[in-house]
């Protein structure tokens, strides 16, 4: 990953570990992270060790998406007509008042978090 892809608050992994970490600080080629569910200790790691978390059904549910009968996952982002939707083969869709656009470049949790923050000014976090 590149440092310019990350924001403070993004969820990432370190190397191939299963644990999820929250980005606390970013400076040049190092990132300070804290493991979710822990108050300390934090770690400072090289940017090369930071790995993105792929969007999966499990992680979407943890982020607050709701499974729909048609196989999609939906998240109401600010009112009754603005949604983020996800389907495994189609990817992420932004739907506003019955108009939608597919966002095929959104493949990872940090990208979805950055999109959500850009749209709402709020953080998308694991519930």
Per-residue confidence (pLDDT) for residue 69, from 0 to 100: 95
- Answer yes or no: is pLDDT of 67 > 90: yes
In what helix (H) or strand (E) does residue 95 lie, and over which residues does it extend?
Answer: strand 91-96
Burial of 46 from C-beta contacts in 10 A (0-12 / 13-18 / 19+): exposed
pTM of the model: 0.91
Q: Is 112 left (phi over 0), alpha (psi -120 to 50) or beta?
A: alpha
Q: What is the pLDDT of residues 27-66, one digit of tens each?
A: 989 999 999 988 888 999 999 999 999 999 999 999 999 9
């Amino acid at each position: 990953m590149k440092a310019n892809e990350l924001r403070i608050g993004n969820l990432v992994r370190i190397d191939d570990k299963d644990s999820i970490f929250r980005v606390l600080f970013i400076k040049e080629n190092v990132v300070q992270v804290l493991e979710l569910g822990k108050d300390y200790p934090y770690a400072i790691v090289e940017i090369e060790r930071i790995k993105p978390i792929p969007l999966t059904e499990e992680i979407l549910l943890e982020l607050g998406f709701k499974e729909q009968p048609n196989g999609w996952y939906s998240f109401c982002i600010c009112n009754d007509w603005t949604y983020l939707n996800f389907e495994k083969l189609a990817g992420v869709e932004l739907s506003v008042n019955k108009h939608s656009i597919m966002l095929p470049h959104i493949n990872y949790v940090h990208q979805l978090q950055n999109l959500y923050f850009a749209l709402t000014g709020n953080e998308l976090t694991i519930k």
